[in-house]
Structures are given as C-alpha cells and as structure tokens.
Amino acid sequence: MLGPFGLKGELRVQPLTDNPDRFLPKARLWAGQQPVTITDSRDAQGYVFLMLKGFRDRESVDKFRHVLLQVPEAELAALPEGEYYRFQLIGLTVVAKDGTPIGTLDEIIETGANDVYRVHPPEGADVLLPALDDVIISIDLNEKRMVVDPPEWR
C-alpha cells in the first residue's frame, strides 16, 4: 500500500496481482502481520483505493503506509505441477546435481526474458542462476531444496 488518500480512511494501493478480485468488498487480506477485510474498493488512474473494516480516518490507516498486502496462503489458487509461487522458492537450499551445496535462494530477479535466481552461498559472491528448465533440475518444497545444473560460466 502506498498510503492514506483523503481524510476518511481510504488507502491508495499499487496492485501487484493479476487477480483484481483480490480487492473486492469482503475480501480478507493481510496487511503486514494484521488481518484486514475490505469494505469498499474502486479503481482509478492505475491504482486501487480501498476502505478497510474498522478503519475510518486517515490517522488509523497511516500505519499501513508502504505495507505489503498479502493473500492468506490457504486462499491461494492451486498452481499446475511444476509452477510455484515466488514466496515458496525464497529460502530454498540450492544444491548442484552432484549434491554440492551452493547456497540459499534469497531473491528472484525479473529480467523480462526469464527470471534469475540470486543464491547466497555461505562464503563468497552470490550466484545468479537463470530460471530455465535446463538449469533448474528439480524443486522439492517439502524438503526445501532446489537441485540445479549451473551453467559453465558460473
């Protein structure tokens, strides 16, 4: 959320979702660590303007300035096999296909062509891995592990 708009508790939000239903009245979201319910919403000039239940003035919603709105994980749509939400990948242990530890995936960089995974090793410089089928061998969310075949230029 960008912050308050006006005096009556409306919030201006830059939407990051491709699902506009996320902002319909009665939708439940998390604003940081706090659950909130939308009571009213409108679109204007590329933004979504929201009213939240229990927040009726500018001062009461100011605490949500620059807070990320999130959907409860239980309400996320199931993805097809082999597709993952970004939050599921952050924190995975990354190992080479021979079992050699590489590090922890700590950022996903959007490049336009394909995402790039930034992996932070225990020592040394970060490793950048293109999110391509011939590089990412497997992902096991239960084991919190990603197996990769890093390009030779690594």
Domain check: are 131 and 105 in the same one?
Answer: yes
Which range is least confidently modeled, 5-9, 33-37, 68-72, 149-153? 149-153
Give kind and range of the element (H or E) at residue 89: helix 86-89
Q: 135 in a domain, yes or no?
A: yes
Q: Are residues 37 and 7 in the same domain?
A: yes
Q: Do 70 and 92 belong to one domain?
A: no
Which of 75, 106, 132 is the last residue in one of the domains? Answer: 75
Question: Do 68 and 92 fall within a single domain?
Answer: no
Domain span at 105: 86-148
- pLDDT tens per residue, range 55-64: 999 999 999 9
Query: Does residue 154 form part of some domain?
Result: no
The domain total for the chain is 2
> Looking at residue 87, what is its pLDDT?
87
What CATH number should be reported for the domain holding residue 22? 2.40.30.60
| CA dist 21 → 42, 62, 71, 85, 122 (Å) | 11, 24, 11, 18, 41
